[in-house]
Amino acid sequence: MMDIIIGLLASFGAIFVFLAAVGVLRMPDTYLRISVTTKAATLGIGLLLVAAAVFFKDLSIATKVLAIILFILLTAPVSAHLIGRASYFSGVKLWKGSVLDDLEGKYDKFSHKLKSEMKENSEKKTDQIGED
């Protein structure tokens, strides 16, 4: 019974890691690749580590595995955001099928700050009031 549970957890984890690898190879754009790696790899690695915790049946090892999973869950979005920001500044183009770029023209290329975010919001508010 235990073997079946471990086998199922390990197979699902391996399938998710494999899907992440295929996504990294096949996706047309840097940003889509970032999205694929963070989601799929986190779940796949979590399942593989849980399989190891179920196999050893020891509290200290389960704690260690929980610490690793928690660390990965915390750090994967942070690193994805940082690398996505760096790639946006270094001028990586979006895929031609992308529909929306919210940040277009809003980032200052030199100081790396959001340009006139507050001003635009207040303008929108006054516009709405005027229309009312």
Q: Which parts of this chain interact with another protein (CB under 8 A)?
A: 3, 6-7, 10-11, 13-15, 17-18, 20-22, 24-25, 30, 33-34, 37, 41, 44-45, 48-49, 51-52, 55-56, 58, 61, 64-65, 67-68, 71-72, 75, 78-79, 82-83, 85-87, 89-92, 110, 112
| Closer CB to another protein, 1 or 118, in the complex | 1
58 or 127: whose CB is closer to another protein?
58
CB of 6 to another protein, least distance (A): 6
Cα separation, 67 vs 75, in Å, equals 12
Non-local CB neighbours of 62 within 8 Å, separated by 6+ positions: 53, 56
Q: How far is the CB of 60 from another protein (least distance, A)?
A: 8
HSE value, Cβ hemisphere, 13 Å, CA-based, for 124: 6
In the bound complex, what is the minimum distance in angstroms from residue 48's beta carbon to another protein?
4
In the complex with another protein, which residue's Cβ is closer, 90 or 128? 90
Adjacent-strand bridge partners of 114: 107
Residues in the chain: 132
Nearer residue to another protein within complex by CB, 78 or 114: 78
Rounded to a whole number of angstroms, the minimum distance from the CB of residue 109 to another protein is 8
Element (H, E) at 120: helix 117-131
DSSP string, 34-59: HHHHHHHHHHHHHHHHHHHHHHH--H
